[in-house]
Amino acid sequence: MLRQTVALVLVFSAVAQGLQVLQCSNNRPAPQEVVIPGCTNLPCPVPNQSDFNFSVRFAPSFPTNSLTVDVRASLLGLFLPYEVPDHLRNGCNNIDTSCPLTAGQSVTLSGNAPVEAPLTGVTVTMEFEITGDGGQVAVCFAATVTIL
């Protein structure tokens, strides 16, 4: 459903390199870099019924034993139900090192997710948040994606 759409959103982020993404509200920490193959500008085109690949580089400002991936999708200001696939939810299983992480340690989380949206031709805003122990936000970014 649209939960896969959210997974594809994991792909946004960026600063100096990678994709220029949208900042999350409440000044949550931004990523160092986000890469979505085939996307250089928002909105990212994402074919329905395909796998969405992405990577996000970030450095949590606190030590943590765990990483949890959450995604929220919205269309025209309405939040859409989205359940992060189990293989993505535990962020420690998808990083280029292993948990625990030290404060300031730069890591890259990579993943892929099936895109199975009920609609095509729509542009959805995705917010991607990774939290550590106690729900502390390690990184957050948002991006727009167009489901093809």
The pLDDT assigned to 71 comes to: 84
pLDDT tens digits for range 34-76: 998 889 999 999 899 887 788 999 999 999 999 999 988 888 8
Contact status, residue 111 vs residue 104, Cβ threshold 8 Å: no
Q: Dump strand ranges (E) for 2-106.
A: 33-35, 44-46, 50-58, 68-75, 78-80
| pTM, full prediction | 0.83
pLDDT tens digits for range 80-136: 777 888 888 999 999 999 999 999 999 999 977 777 788 899 998 888 899 999 999
CA atoms within 13 A on the CB side of 20: 3
The pLDDT assigned to 135 comes to: 96
Contact status, residue 28 vs residue 146, Cβ threshold 8 Å: no
pLDDT of 16 over the 90 cut: no
Residue of higher predicted confidence among 148 and 4: 148
Compute the C-alpha angle 8/14/17, nearest 5°: 120
Query: What is residue 4's three-state secondary structure?
Result: helix
The pLDDT assigned to 17 comes to: 56
Query: What is residue 43's DSSP assignment?
Result: S
pLDDT of 7 over the 80 cut: no
- Identify the band that residue 28 occupies on the pLDDT scale cut at 50, 70 and 90: very high
Angstrom distances, CA of residue 69 to CA of 38, 47, 129, 131 = 23, 22, 6, 7
* 72, two tokens: 């929220």
